[in-house]
Amino acid sequence: MTDWSAIGTLLSSEAAKLVDPNAKASFEAMHVYGSFDPAKSNDAKLKNWFTNKLDKMPGVHVALLERQKKKGYPKCPDCQEEAKKCNKCGHDLRGTEEKGVDTRIVTDMISLAWSNSYDVAVLVSADRDFVPVAEFLQAKGIKVMHGAFPPIGSHLSQKCWGSIKIPDFMKQFQRN
């Protein structure tokens, strides 16, 4: 089980060591982003945990967005006919998709940098869509560290100022 209260301090400390081995780290905040499907009971539990546990930890800010129903239906790979309902139970076959989470992350990274809220950011994601914001912030003097789970997200690691291999530190934020 993960001790979420230890993650921000640990990542701040590791980022500071990369920038200056003699520097003292200062953990200011950890922003956590996610999405949920209100129609799924497991997602209701996840939303409850995000808003009633994680968001109430010191220095933690949660942004949780509702997943949206896909506009299109799945298609047969052979004939491209849309499959709207399950032949057995009649359930709508459209899934949901995350809308706005990546944009929220990028907006927050830029607006917090604009207000001089941080000098070093640790971005934990494998999504290469974050390469442009990492490059932009670094061009403005903000160091972006990639919180990585190698080899996943190696393209983002290559574009960031530095990389923290999270599996190397996972034991430090595990609860017994």
Rg over alpha carbons for the chain, rounded to the nearest Å, is 19
φ/ψ of 73, rounded to 5, equals -100, 160
At 2 the pLDDT is 86
**What's the CA gap between 174 and 64, in Å, rounded?**
24
At 96 the pLDDT is 79
> What does the block give as tokens for 113?
């940098």
Domains of the chain: 4-68+99-173 (3.40.50)
**What's the CA gap between 148 and 124, in Å, rounded?**
6
Q: Are strands 162-165 and 143-148 parallel, antiparallel or unpaired?
A: parallel
At 159 the pLDDT is 96
pLDDT in tens, the chain (176 residues): 888 989 999 999 999 999 999 988 889 999 999 999 988 889 999 999 999 999 999 999 999 999 988 888 888 889 998 888 888 998 888 877 788 899 999 999 999 999 999 999 999 999 999 999 999 999 999 999 999 999 999 999 999 999 999 999 989 988 87
At 24 the pLDDT is 85
Residue 173 CA to chain centroid, in angstroms? 17
3-state secondary structure of 25: coil
> What does the block give as tokens for 33?
């982003």
**Largest pairwise CA distance in the chain:** 64
Which residue(s) pair with 164 in the sheet? 147
What's the pTM? Answer: 0.84
